[in-house]
Amino acid sequence: MRRGTLQRARLTWQRFARAIVHLAGSEYAPKALRFVILLFICMFGITGLNVFNSYVGRDFMSAIEHQNLGEFWHNALLYLAVFGGSTAVAVFYRFAEERLGLVWREQLTGRLANLYLSERTYYRLDGAAGIANPDQRIAEDVRAFTTTTLSFTLLILNGSLAAVSFSGVLWSISPRLFGVAVGYALCGSLLTIWLGKPLIGLNYRQLDMEASFRAALIHVRENSESIALAHREGRFKVRLTQRLDNLTANFRRIVKVNRNLGFFTTGYNYLIQIIPALIVAPLFIKGEIKDFGVVTQSAMAFSALLGALSLIVTQFQSISAFSAVTARLNGLGEAMEQARNTQPSAIALEEARERVEFDGVTLFSSDGKRRLIGELSLVVARGQCWLVTCLEDEPKVALLRAMAGIWENGSGRIVRPGLDDILFLAERPYLPPGMLRDILVRMDNAGTTADAAIHEVLDKLDLTEVVRRLGGLQAHEDWDDLLAIGEQHLFSVARILLAKPAFVVLDRPGSALPKEQIRRILDLLLEQGMGVVVLAKNGESDLRFDACLELSCDGRWSVTSQPTAEQAD
């Protein structure tokens, strides 16, 4: 709104051009090119048939005027032939447009999804200012962008072709009528831009508000049990009501602008029907035009030319929404690039399969104001089992995330196996919906892991009866909703045992599992020669470990080789 209409238009076209370049450079380009060629063939066919139809219509009306029955039937047959050809071409045109839009959406959605998931962009994107609901932008905005962009592009190309084709027809009938058409379209476009200018910003805000309202509803659904137990319905009712009030207030402003714009555009379109007659009919009455069919031809040519020149008038409401969608997608793309190109953490990460080493590692809180761990230096060898204790959870969580490479507030050097060789089991495990077998087996091991090996691991964790109850390894469910938290932990451990990494980090397993079950899990992990680091929460201190790293709340730390039960969690 503040940068001006011309700058917004320039940015919109730059974004459009960038999207075209990405499509042209992708593996979808050959398929897209075939549909583009078909579209152009149909486009020229439709325009040619429309021009030819204007002459057939002229002769048809003139035959009626002259009471020439033979000419009447001849042109009636031509009319039917043109209608038949136009129908066939229009159907193929629509088919090619929809298929090209689908190809483009598939390419653009795939590209954004890959950017979103690669290099943990989805995690870093949370820190990108002003980027809300990236999932909605990838799903809904891409669909709106591809279909609307393609529609506008074809409207412009068709309009340009129609303008060139019918300009000659209209000029041959009346140069004055041609000038009126150009002037009328120019004035109408300028007035439409002036009246509808606020729609661009309003539509952008509306998309964000709709997405925020939907996200709040999803949050309630995903956390329904917690909300019910805490009896927080009142707080969420206020939150939802506020978001609903915001989006309805913004939409009322959109409706108001559309109303004012509608007064002008509706009257503008009605006048198109009578302007040709006001100019050409007097010429016919005076005898300067001999055939009455020219009057109807002028009306058709005038409407076609004005339609081509009046895209801003007829499509401004859609254009404003399209500009908002384009800006949102461009903002998402820029945020993704920024997230991927963020300055690397001062914590250096190196890979070594046989150890986890901390070399002068200092970690700070997320706001950078508090030192959580200071100058930590130690080595955990593969095959060892270490316990990490602290009165607070924040230092332990920071250490876990630093090992995973997603904690950036700190310094020093961490040596650990590559991410395929070190697995992290969060305090709240994540089991994505899908087939149970796919949940348990890594994608790269899916073809080499036999069902017998899976059942052997499940039997060690006493999960055989649970799997039978669920319907076997081929069962397909939303496991987060179906399984108890303890069962989710055990299935996550089964996945670790099947993956056979070099190291495992267990984040506060005592939150969901009893001490005896944790001891059994540690024995199974150590039997496979893994290195194990356990972040303590409840009861883990009573178990046997090779060493214990005790973190203090002021950033100090100490290591003991024989931890005792009295050590704080």
Strands 385-390 and 531-535: parallel
Dihedral pair phi/psi, residue 92, rounded to 5°: -65, -35
Buried-exposed string 413-450: b where 16+ CB fall within 10 A, e elsewhere: ebbbbeeebbbbbebebebeeeebbebbbbeeeeeebe
Q: How far is 64 from 560, CA to CA, in rounded Å?
A: 107
Residue ranges of the chain that CATH labels 3.40.50.300: 347-560
User: What per-residue confidence (pLDDT) applies to 564?
Assistant: 42
The whole-angstrom distance between residue 336's C-alpha and the CA centroid of its chain comes to 11
Helix (H), strand (E) at residue 118: none
Task: Dump pLDDT digits (tens) for 123-168.
Answer: 766 554 456 667 767 777 788 788 777 777 777 777 777 777 767 6
Q: Which residue in this structure is represented by tokens 């890979």? A: 351
Whether pLDDT at 295 is above 80: no
Do 548 and 560 contact (CB within 8 A), yes or no? yes
Q: Please, what sign has the CA dihedral across residues 259, 261, 265, 267?
A: positive
Dihedral pair phi/psi, residue 45, rounded to 5°: -65, -45
- Across the range 251-271, mean pLDDT stands at 81
Q: Topology of domain 5-340, per CATH?
A: ABC transporter transmembrane region fold (1.20.1560)
Q: How far is 256 from 251, CA to CA, in rounded Å?
A: 9
User: What per-residue confidence (pLDDT) applies to 373?
Assistant: 92
Whether pLDDT at 385 is above 90: yes
Whether pLDDT at 563 is above 50: no
Q: What is the pTM of this model?
A: 0.59
Task: Dump pLDDT digits (tens) for 45-68.
Answer: 888 887 787 777 777 777 776 777
Which CATH number is 347-560 given? 3.40.50.300
Do 527 and 366 contact (CB within 8 A), yes or no? no
User: What per-residue confidence (pLDDT) applies to 2?
Assistant: 45
DSSP bridge partners of 378? 358
User: What per-residue confidence (pLDDT) applies to 376?
Assistant: 92
Task: Dump pLDDT digits (tens) for 201-260.
Answer: 787 788 778 877 887 888 787 777 667 766 677 778 888 888 888 889 998 888 888 888
Task: Dump pLDDT digits (tens) for 371-381.
Answer: 999 999 999 99
Percent of the chain at pLDDT > 70 equals: 82
The amino acid occupying position 130 is G
Q: What is the CA radius of gyration of the chain?
A: 34
Q: Other C-beta atoms within 10 Å of 353: how many?
A: 14
Taking all residues of the chain, what is their mean pLDDT, rounded to a whole number? 80
Q: Other C-beta atoms within 10 Å of 332: how many?
A: 24
CA–CA–CA angle 2, 7, 11 (5° rounding): 115
Helix (H), strand (E) at residue 550: strand 547-551
Residue ranges of the chain that CATH labels 1.20.1560.10: 5-340
Do 211 and 204 contact (CB within 8 A), yes or no? no
Q: How far is 39 from 98, CA to CA, in rounded Å?
A: 10
Q: How far is 111 from 124, CA to CA, in rounded Å?
A: 18
- Across the range 342-346, mean pLDDT stands at 61
Residues 6+ apart with CB under 8 A from 328: 137, 141, 204, 207, 208
- Across the range 535-545, mean pLDDT stands at 78
User: What per-residue confidence (pLDDT) applies to 521?
Assistant: 92
Q: How far is 519 from 313, CA to CA, in rounded Å?
A: 73
Q: How far is 428 from 507, CA to CA, in rounded Å?
A: 9
Task: Dump pLDDT digits (tens) for 86-100.
Answer: 888 889 988 988 898
Helix (H), strand (E) at residue 377: strand 371-381
